[in-house]
Amino acid sequence: MEPFKSLTAVACPLPFANIDTDQIVPARFMSTPRSAGYGGFLFHDRRRGADGQPTGAFPLDKPERASAKIIVAKRNFGCGSSREAAVYALMDFGIRCAIAPSFGEIFGGNSLSNGLLNARVSERDADVLLAELEAGLLDLRVDLDAQSITGGKAPIPFEIDPAAKLRLINGWDDVQMTLSFKDQITAFQKRDAVERPWVKPV
Protein backbone atom coordinates (compact mmCIF):
# COMPACT_ATOMS: atom_id res chain seq x y z
CA MET A 1 0.00 0.00 0.00
CA GLU A 2 1.24 3.51 -0.78
CA PRO A 3 2.11 5.52 2.32
CA PHE A 4 0.00 8.63 2.92
CA LYS A 5 1.90 11.61 4.33
CA SER A 6 0.30 14.76 2.99
CA LEU A 7 -1.77 15.81 0.04
CA THR A 8 -2.47 19.12 -1.65
CA ALA A 9 -5.27 18.84 -4.17
CA VAL A 10 -8.61 20.08 -5.42
CA ALA A 11 -11.36 19.36 -2.91
CA CYS A 12 -15.00 18.79 -3.78
CA PRO A 13 -17.92 19.59 -1.47
CA LEU A 14 -20.60 16.90 -1.11
CA PRO A 15 -22.98 18.72 1.22
CA PHE A 16 -25.04 15.65 2.13
CA ALA A 17 -25.43 13.58 5.29
CA ASN A 18 -25.75 9.77 5.38
CA ILE A 19 -24.21 9.12 1.97
CA ASP A 20 -24.54 5.34 1.85
CA THR A 21 -22.37 2.97 -0.14
CA ASP A 22 -25.33 2.03 -2.37
CA GLN A 23 -25.17 5.62 -3.65
CA ILE A 24 -21.38 5.61 -3.95
CA VAL A 25 -21.57 2.50 -6.12
CA PRO A 26 -24.85 0.78 -7.03
CA ALA A 27 -24.94 -2.99 -6.46
CA ARG A 28 -25.29 -3.89 -10.12
CA PHE A 29 -21.65 -2.97 -10.85
CA MET A 30 -20.15 -5.17 -8.18
CA SER A 31 -19.55 -8.24 -10.32
CA THR A 32 -16.90 -6.25 -12.23
CA PRO A 33 -13.29 -7.32 -11.56
CA ARG A 34 -11.24 -4.58 -9.94
CA SER A 35 -8.77 -4.54 -12.82
CA ALA A 36 -11.52 -3.13 -15.05
CA GLY A 37 -11.61 0.04 -12.92
CA TYR A 38 -14.45 1.33 -10.75
CA GLY A 39 -13.98 5.09 -11.28
CA GLY A 40 -16.79 5.34 -13.80
CA PHE A 41 -19.28 3.84 -11.32
CA LEU A 42 -18.71 6.50 -8.67
CA PHE A 43 -22.07 8.02 -7.68
CA HIS A 44 -23.33 6.52 -10.94
CA ASP A 45 -27.06 7.01 -10.42
CA ARG A 46 -26.81 10.30 -8.56
CA ARG A 47 -24.90 11.84 -11.45
CA ARG A 48 -27.39 10.78 -14.09
CA GLY A 49 -30.90 11.88 -14.97
CA ALA A 50 -33.88 9.75 -15.98
CA ASP A 51 -32.41 9.36 -19.49
CA GLY A 52 -29.22 7.81 -18.09
CA GLN A 53 -27.08 10.77 -19.14
CA PRO A 54 -24.96 12.79 -16.69
CA THR A 55 -26.82 15.95 -15.76
CA GLY A 56 -23.66 17.84 -14.83
CA ALA A 57 -25.35 19.01 -11.64
CA PHE A 58 -23.53 16.66 -9.25
CA PRO A 59 -20.65 18.49 -7.52
CA LEU A 60 -17.98 16.11 -8.89
CA ASP A 61 -19.15 16.91 -12.43
CA LYS A 62 -18.39 20.61 -12.15
CA PRO A 63 -15.39 21.16 -14.47
CA GLU A 64 -13.33 22.85 -11.75
CA ARG A 65 -13.78 19.83 -9.45
CA ALA A 66 -13.05 17.14 -12.05
CA SER A 67 -9.52 16.56 -10.73
CA ALA A 68 -10.60 16.41 -7.06
CA LYS A 69 -8.59 14.12 -4.81
CA ILE A 70 -10.35 15.25 -1.63
CA ILE A 71 -14.05 15.17 -0.79
CA VAL A 72 -15.82 16.87 2.11
CA ALA A 73 -19.19 15.54 3.27
CA LYS A 74 -21.57 15.68 6.21
CA ARG A 75 -22.06 13.12 8.95
CA ASN A 76 -22.16 9.35 8.51
CA PHE A 77 -20.35 9.19 5.17
CA GLY A 78 -20.10 5.65 3.76
CA CYS A 79 -22.82 4.11 5.92
CA GLY A 80 -24.70 1.00 4.86
CA SER A 81 -23.49 -1.93 2.81
CA SER A 82 -20.02 -3.35 3.45
CA ARG A 83 -19.10 -3.19 -0.23
CA GLU A 84 -15.42 -2.32 -0.54
CA ALA A 85 -16.34 -1.41 -4.12
CA ALA A 86 -17.34 1.99 -2.69
CA VAL A 87 -13.72 2.62 -1.77
CA TYR A 88 -12.55 1.24 -5.14
CA ALA A 89 -14.86 3.68 -6.93
CA LEU A 90 -13.55 6.63 -4.93
CA MET A 91 -9.90 5.60 -5.32
CA ASP A 92 -10.20 4.77 -9.03
CA PHE A 93 -11.82 8.16 -9.58
CA GLY A 94 -8.76 9.71 -7.91
CA ILE A 95 -10.01 10.45 -4.39
CA ARG A 96 -7.37 9.91 -1.68
CA CYS A 97 -8.96 11.65 1.30
CA ALA A 98 -12.51 11.92 2.62
CA ILE A 99 -13.31 14.55 5.25
CA ALA A 100 -16.51 14.25 7.32
CA PRO A 101 -17.76 14.44 10.92
CA SER A 102 -18.33 10.67 11.03
CA PHE A 103 -17.97 7.63 8.80
CA GLY A 104 -19.66 4.27 8.43
CA GLU A 105 -17.42 1.88 10.33
CA ILE A 106 -17.03 -0.86 7.74
CA PHE A 107 -16.28 1.86 5.21
CA GLY A 108 -13.59 3.10 7.60
CA GLY A 109 -11.95 -0.33 7.68
CA ASN A 110 -12.18 -0.63 3.90
CA SER A 111 -10.63 2.80 3.47
CA LEU A 112 -7.74 1.84 5.69
CA SER A 113 -7.12 -1.38 3.75
CA ASN A 114 -6.78 0.66 0.56
CA GLY A 115 -4.95 3.74 1.82
CA LEU A 116 -7.88 6.17 1.64
CA LEU A 117 -7.60 8.66 4.51
CA ASN A 118 -10.80 9.25 6.51
CA ALA A 119 -10.31 12.55 8.34
CA ARG A 120 -12.85 13.19 11.13
CA VAL A 121 -13.62 16.83 11.75
CA SER A 122 -16.20 18.47 13.98
CA GLU A 123 -19.64 19.05 12.51
CA ARG A 124 -19.00 22.80 12.66
CA ASP A 125 -15.69 22.54 10.84
CA ALA A 126 -17.26 20.37 8.15
CA ASP A 127 -19.88 23.05 7.60
CA VAL A 128 -17.18 25.75 7.46
CA LEU A 129 -15.19 23.77 4.88
CA LEU A 130 -18.30 23.03 2.82
CA ALA A 131 -19.27 26.70 2.81
CA GLU A 132 -15.78 27.81 1.75
CA LEU A 133 -15.62 25.23 -1.03
CA GLU A 134 -19.08 26.14 -2.27
CA ALA A 135 -18.01 29.77 -2.28
CA GLY A 136 -15.22 28.89 -4.70
CA LEU A 137 -12.27 27.61 -2.66
CA LEU A 138 -10.50 24.91 -4.68
CA ASP A 139 -7.38 23.47 -3.06
CA LEU A 140 -6.94 22.00 0.40
CA ARG A 141 -3.82 20.63 2.00
CA VAL A 142 -4.20 17.63 4.28
CA ASP A 143 -1.24 16.84 6.54
CA LEU A 144 -1.64 13.44 8.20
CA ASP A 145 1.27 13.75 10.62
CA ALA A 146 0.08 17.13 11.93
CA GLN A 147 -3.59 16.05 11.60
CA SER A 148 -4.48 19.35 10.05
CA ILE A 149 -6.33 20.67 7.03
CA THR A 150 -5.21 24.02 5.61
CA GLY A 151 -6.14 26.13 2.61
CA GLY A 152 -9.29 27.68 4.04
CA LYS A 153 -9.46 30.76 6.24
CA ALA A 154 -8.25 28.93 9.32
CA PRO A 155 -6.47 25.60 9.77
CA ILE A 156 -8.80 22.80 10.81
CA PRO A 157 -7.67 19.88 12.98
CA PHE A 158 -8.86 16.37 12.28
CA GLU A 159 -9.02 13.14 14.22
CA ILE A 160 -7.91 9.67 13.26
CA ASP A 161 -7.31 6.54 15.31
CA PRO A 162 -3.60 6.28 16.20
CA ALA A 163 -3.33 2.75 14.80
CA ALA A 164 -4.90 3.80 11.50
CA LYS A 165 -2.54 6.78 11.32
CA LEU A 166 0.49 4.54 11.78
CA ARG A 167 -0.67 2.15 9.09
CA LEU A 168 -1.41 4.92 6.58
CA ILE A 169 1.80 6.87 7.16
CA ASN A 170 3.89 3.73 6.80
CA GLY A 171 1.78 2.12 4.09
CA TRP A 172 1.71 -1.08 6.13
CA ASP A 173 0.02 -4.11 4.71
CA ASP A 174 -2.22 -5.79 7.27
CA VAL A 175 -1.45 -9.38 6.26
CA GLN A 176 2.30 -8.78 6.65
CA MET A 177 1.64 -7.12 9.99
CA THR A 178 -0.35 -10.13 11.18
CA LEU A 179 2.16 -12.72 10.03
CA SER A 180 4.73 -11.13 12.32
CA PHE A 181 2.55 -12.42 15.21
CA LYS A 182 2.55 -16.00 13.94
CA ASP A 183 3.73 -17.49 17.23
CA GLN A 184 1.04 -15.77 19.25
CA ILE A 185 -1.60 -16.99 16.78
CA THR A 186 -0.36 -20.58 17.06
CA ALA A 187 -0.32 -20.39 20.85
CA PHE A 188 -3.86 -18.99 20.88
CA GLN A 189 -5.14 -21.86 18.73
CA LYS A 190 -3.56 -24.46 21.00
CA ARG A 191 -4.95 -22.96 24.18
CA ASP A 192 -8.36 -22.31 22.64
CA ALA A 193 -8.85 -25.87 21.40
CA VAL A 194 -8.63 -27.00 25.03
CA GLU A 195 -10.64 -24.16 26.57
CA ARG A 196 -13.52 -24.07 24.09
CA PRO A 197 -13.85 -27.57 22.62
CA TRP A 198 -17.43 -26.86 21.47
CA VAL A 199 -16.29 -24.30 18.90
CA LYS A 200 -15.21 -26.97 16.42
CA PRO A 201 -18.07 -27.55 13.98
CA VAL A 202 -19.39 -31.10 14.11
Partner 1 sequence: MIAPRTLFDKLWDAHVIVAQEHGDTLLWVDRHFVHEGSHHAFAKIGARGMPVARPDLTFGVADHYVPTRGRAGTAAIPDATVRGMVEKLEANTKRHGVRLFGLDDPAQGIVHVVGPERGLTLPGTLVVCGDSHTATHGALGAYSFGIGASEVAHVLATQTIWQRKPKNMRIRVDGRLAPGLTAKDMILAVIAEIGTDGAVGHAVEYAGAAVRALSIEGRLTLCNMSIEAGARTGMVAPDETTIAYLRGRPSVVSGAAFDRAAAEWLALAGDDGAQFDKDVSLDADKIAPTVTWGTSPEHALPVTAAVPDPAGIADVAKAAHVADAIAYMGLKAGQAISSIPIDRVFIGSCTNSRIEDLRAAAAVLAGRKAKVPGLVSPGSSQIKVQAEQEGLDRIFTAAGLEWAASGCSMCVGMNGDLVASGERCASTTNRNFKGRQGEGARTHLMSPAMVAAAAVAGTIADVRPMLEGRM
Q: Which of 104, 129, 132, 133 binds partner 1 (CB under 8 A)?
A: 104
Q: Which of 42, 62, 54 is nearest to 134 (CA)?
A: 62
Alpha-carbon distance of 122 to 152, in angstroms, equals 15
Alpha-carbon distance of 124 to 137, in angstroms, equals 17
For Cα atoms 8, 11, 15, give the angle at the middle one, nearest 5 degrees: 150
User: Among 11-19, 57-65, 131-139, 143-151, which window interacts with partner 1 (CB under 8 A)?
Assistant: 11-19
Residue 51 binds to partner 1 (criterion: CB under 8 A): no
Residue 150 binds to partner 1 (criterion: CB under 8 A): no
Residue 118 binds to partner 1 (criterion: CB under 8 A): no
Alpha-carbon distance of 99 to 73, in angstroms, equals 6
CB of 117 to partner 1, least distance (A): 16
44 CB contacts (<8 Å, ≥6 apart)? 25, 26, 29
List contacts with partner 1 (CB under 8 A).
15-18, 20, 22-23, 26-28, 30-31, 33-34, 45, 50, 74-76, 79-85, 87, 102, 104-107, 109-110, 113-114, 161-163, 166, 174-175, 177-179, 181, 184-185, 188-189, 192, 196-202
